[in-house]
Amino acid sequence: MMGFQAAPAQLFYDFSLDEHVPADHLLRRIDNHLDLDSVRVQLKPYYSSTGRPSIDPELMMRMLIIGYSMGIRSERRLCEEVHLNLAYRLFCRLGLDGKVPDHSSFSKNRHGRFRQSDILRHLFEMVVERCLTQGLVGAEGFAVDASLIAADANKQRSVSGAEWNAQEAKYNAGRSVKNIAPHIPVFDKSNRTDGTFSRADFVWDGETDRYICPAGKELVQFRRTYATPRSGITSEGTRLYRASKKDCDACDLKQRCCPNAVARKVPRDLNEDARDVARAIAGTPDYECSRHRRKKVEMLFAHLKRILRMARLRLRGPCGARDEFLLAATAQNLRRLAKLRPPRLPTAAMAV
């Protein structure tokens, strides 16, 4: 017989949120590692001591954690989801009839006080500390990896080429990576397979800016002084070092060096010094170890971009990007904690 679901007409219900959300729900496990008391202390100077009570900052923080842990990118949708989802209500301590903030008040607080107080960094560091105490982070060293995430940027307002200071950008990039060993594979197309000398057969002399060939002759960029100085940089981002035609014509090794050219040319990448450092590290046991570990980091990036929908930033500007990265990293660390350090069930429950 076909069943029929009648709308229940009870006046009172006996309902417990706690009983309806599974004991092993991800948010319950995350909650076990969260202690947001210090958030309130840190934010206190940014709230007035008079006037109407604001939205509870802990509630907003919990909502943000839900958003970044569950891949809910829109604030409007986040507010709707928290309103409707029982597990989200339990995590936010809202009960069944607690009021969810309006999405516009939520945004205003988030981009105002939260940014001024640097509370998101505080939260991120708090979670990293928790990872340390739980034995998930050894703190013996750290590795940096990168992935491309599209910015929500307006191309019409980008910095024009004339205002771009390449030297300053290079200096800032250099400043942000102090004494970090680059464990990066070097793509090298300089090895020749036709039996002629490869670039590795030429010795680089950085002090005099020249290569020395197997016959002991020098390869330099310029053999005369130009009235208008030339950069010597090719469109491929290399410098060309040339042997003299006179040396090559008289050389016994010409057939093994440049049989089809009047003189040998050796290109050198503008970042060849950095590539040499990476090349030297590539053969070490540490490199092998980091090569295996890199796969795990890349899986995290893939998860972040595909499952948690961070392939494109939603907030604009450097501050928006910083907020998003801090929250995404916090959410990922909390998910790892929840997975690797689940809460212990009470003894009685375990016995059952």
Binding stretches for ligand SF4 (CB under 6 A): 213-215, 217, 243, 247-248, 251, 253-254, 257-258, 264
Nearest distance in Å: CB 259, ligand SF4:
9
Nearest distance in Å: CB 221, ligand SF4:
15
Nearer to ligand SF4, 125 or 205 (CB): 205
Nearer to ligand SF4, 253 or 277 (CB): 253
Nearest distance in Å: CB 261, ligand SF4:
9
Q: Are the CB atoms for 44 and 56 separated by under 8 Å?
A: no
Nearer to ligand SF4, 253 or 297 (CB): 253
- For residue 86, with 0-12 CB atoms within 10 Å meaning exposed, 13-18 middle and 19 or more buried, which class applies? middle
* DSSP, res 310: -
Nearest distance in Å: CB 142, ligand SF4:
44
Nearest distance in Å: CB 214, ligand SF4:
5
Nearer to ligand SF4, 240 or 282 (CB): 240
- Looking at residue 284, its amino acid is T
Nearer to ligand SF4, 259 or 343 (CB): 259
Neighbours of 217 (CB within 10 A): 19
- Looking at residue 156, its amino acid is Q
Nearer to ligand SF4, 59 or 251 (CB): 251
Q: Are the CB atoms for 149 and 302 separated by under 8 Å?
A: no
* DSSP, res 65: H
3-state helix, strand, coil in the chain (%, to 5): 50, 5, 45
Nearer to ligand SF4, 203 or 274 (CB): 203
* DSSP, res 22: -
Using the structure block, give the residue that is written with the tokens 């309902």.
15
Q: Are the CB atoms for 119 and 327 separated by under 8 Å?
A: no
Nearest distance in Å: CB 213, ligand SF4:
3
Nearest distance in Å: CB 143, ligand SF4:
41
**Is 269 strand, coil or helix?**
strand
